[in-house]
Amino acid sequence: MKCRDFFPVEPGGSPRFGRFLKARETRERLRPQVEARLVLARRRIEPIILRNFWTNSFTRSCALLAAASLAGCVSDGMRMVDGHVNNAVSFVSGPQGEPANVAIFVASTRRSEGAADDGRAHFSLTSIGVPANHRAGSVERPSFGGADRRRHFTVLSKRNMDEQEFRDEVASHVSGRVGNSRDVLLYVHGFNTSADDARYRLAQIVADGRFSGVPALFVWNSRGGLFNYESDKEAATVSRDALERVLVDLSHAPGVGRIHVLAHSMGAWLTMETLRGVAQSGHPDLDGKLGEVMLAAPDIDLNVFRQQIARVDPRHVSVFVANNDRALSLSSRIAGDRPRLGAMNPNNPEDRAELDRLGVAVQDISSFSTDFVGHGAFAEAPDVVRTIGAQLTAPRPAEADTQAVIDANGGTAAAAAPPPPANQKIETQPLAPLAAR
């Protein structure tokens, strides 16, 4: 067998093997020249790389020293919350492109949050990141995959604490604030809501409403399923004592201004039941600390609400109603076609007369439905959220200069809140200016 049987002859008669040998000889001949040029290039480039490295290192060192200096110069009006700077307002903007931070005090009766299955609460301080691209009324979350803190609401940090630490930390956050920045907003979520959804929703409301006080969240043991309505109602019932304890503890925190409550859906029923119990125990307005009680799409039987409001001063209560709320229509059918407070129609003469008799302020948000169900317009419609924010941050001239200062005995300079004026108007137009309160 000949060599050309392995290396076929090209059309000119020369085998490919010969070309291979010539190429190898050429490479060997040129190798010293190539290596010499590489050495020369390396000698020229290495000083430049080293110079850039030391320049960048010096820049980074200066930045770290500056950051350390700034950290040591944080004013008394600012404090670090689990690694995130939090100043005298709740919504703290982050650096360019970074999420803003909302620090939320959480009291939870959920087993997944560490609470026992007996209605007692577990406490924590959670920092929620609001992305820089946030749009009012939205809670940006990933459709699939992991969350990106630059584009989605995320949990930045969480610190568990006991009940005493919870009270002390609230007082610490309030200390030094002036006027309505001393207020606390307690959010009570509704049916079919996860713990994370509740946290993100409150952070969104604080950001969109520009609330300047201390946000707090009460998480009850909702199972988070569309077919768990009855079990959720039982879970809400079990949580009444825990919510009452949280409200009383917040009202007794040194320096706190008013305690506002924003409650949604079934959470509104839980809130009113709790306030009714607080009133029966001899503290009908939390000893002068009760502020706004805002019931958004309240899933409350109308007759039940009559009994509840008989124990609570109606001047504190605002109701956001929508006659096109399909979730409340379904709740009404489950309850045997009993009317729900949140589905009342102020344009109907009978409903309007009933609302007038109740003595509460009413906002009709039927025209602000953002989806087919229409149950979340209170937070998803930017105009409605801004109205809630305006209601919470309305100036109180008598307390404008009151500052929360905790003394050595745990006392405070904060004065007792005067009673609110009577409600005089039902808002049936698309969020016309708020009634004088």
Distance CA 332, CA 353 (A): 20
Question: Tokens 């040129």 — which residue?
Answer: 30
Q: Are residues 158 and 241 in the same domain?
A: yes
Give yes or no: residues 43 and 88 share one domain.
Answer: no
Query: Residue 68 above 60 pLDDT?
Result: no
Question: What tens digit of pLDDT does each residue of 236-251 get?
Answer: 999 999 999 999 999 9
Residue 432 within a domain = no
Residue 436 lies in a domain: no
Domain that holds residue 185: 79-427
263 has pLDDT over 90: yes
Are residue 112 and residue 39 in the same domain, yes or no?
no
CATH number, position 347: 3.40.50.1820
Q: What is the pLDDT of residues 298-329, one digit of tens each?
A: 999 999 999 999 999 999 999 999 998 888 98
Residue 382 lies in a domain: yes
Residue 240 within a domain: yes
435 is a domain residue: no
What percentage of the chain exceeds 70 in pLDDT?
69
pLDDT digit string (tens) for 365-411?
988 877 778 888 888 889 999 999 998 988 877 776 666 655 434 45
Banded pLDDT at 69 (limits 50, 70, 90): very low
Say yes or no to pLDDT of 201 above 50: yes
Write down the pLDDT at residue 275. 97
Tokens of 375: 């149950």
The residue count for the chain: 437
Residue bearing the bigger pLDDT, 330 or 55: 330
Same domain, yes or no, for 224 and 276? yes
Total domains present in the chain? 2
Give the confidence band of 139 by pLDDT, cuts at 50, 70, 90: very high
Whether 179 and 239 have beta carbons less than 8 Å apart is answered as no
Tell me, yes or no, whether 135 and 36 share the same domain: no
* Whether residue 112 is found in the same domain as residue 2: no
| pLDDT (average), residues 201-205 | 96
Does 382 lie in the same domain as 292? yes
pLDDT mean across residues, the chain: 79
Is the pLDDT score of 152 beyond 50?
yes
Picking from 73, 93, 127, the residue at the C-terminal end of a domain is 73
pLDDT band at 14 (very low <50, low <70, confident <90, very high): low
Same domain membership, residue 59 and residue 85: no
Decide which of 13, 47, 73 is a domain's last residue.
73
| Band of pLDDT at residue 94, cut at 50, 70 and 90 | low
pLDDT digits (tens, 9 = 90+) for 214-242: 999 999 988 776 677 888 889 899 999 99
Residues 215 and 359 in one domain: yes
Q: How far apart are CA 255 and CA 283, in angstroms?
A: 19
Within this chain, do residues 85 and 214 fall inside the same structural domain, yes or no? Answer: yes
Task: Check residue 135 and give its pLDDT.
Answer: 93
Q: Among residues 73, 89, 123, which one ends one of the domains?
A: 73
Q: Which of 208, 221, 81, 206 is nearest to 156 (CA)?
A: 81
134 touches 94 (CB < 8 A)? no
Task: Read off the tokens for 236.
Answer: 């809400």
